[in-house]
Amino acid sequence: MGLIDMKLFKMTLITIVILTSFFLLFLWFANGGKGYETIDIMDYRIFEEYNGESNLNIFPSLIPDNTISSDYIYHYRDGLAGDKYQIYLKLDLTRNDFLIEINRLKKIASDFDSSNYAYPAYEIDNQDDDVYEYALYDVTNFRIYYIYLERVPKRTLKFPKKLLPSSYSDLWW
């Protein structure tokens, strides 16, 4: 190899190393740096690091005392294209608490949808700025699922995918 070929080889190698480093840094930032997650129902409504695009009005301010069972997930992750949030609350309620909560949802929801989800849904936000905020209800079991998603890929969901709207799109995240 001549002197020029050696210099070209070294410059090509340095360029590859630099580009690979930038690509790996990009992937790290795109998937998020810091994050937070809790599944402890005692942490409900303590939304650490929340700076999302909603007031989270779909969620009840308090969990009814007579709640039979509940599941809760709050997940937050920094992202290069914006922070990612997923909040999930499932409540199995008494009949009376269920009816009270359905009436509250009717008053605050901007839309009702019985065809785009596995269960009838009250929506506050659906796909505006990559945000989904809705509540699904199962009248047979007096169960309500409250869901808030902001820039969350399907592959990182912490709850069953069947609870997503059929039109859910995560194309850009």
Q: What is the pLDDT of residues 39-78, one digit of tens each?
A: 999 999 888 778 888 889 999 999 999 999 999 999 998 8
Percent of the chain with pLDDT over 70: 84
Tracing tokens 């007096």 back to the chain, one arrives at 142
pTM over 0.75: yes
Q: How far apart are CA 142 and CA 128, in angstroms?
A: 29
Return phi, psi of residue 76, to 5°.
Answer: -130, 140
- pLDDT tens profile 135-144: 999 999 999 9
Q: Strand 111-113 and strand 131-138: pairing?
A: unpaired
Instruction: Please report which residue ranges of 32-157 form alpha helices under DSSP H.
Output: 95-108
pLDDT score for 30: 54
Burial of 12 (0-12, 13-18, 19+ CB in 10 A): exposed
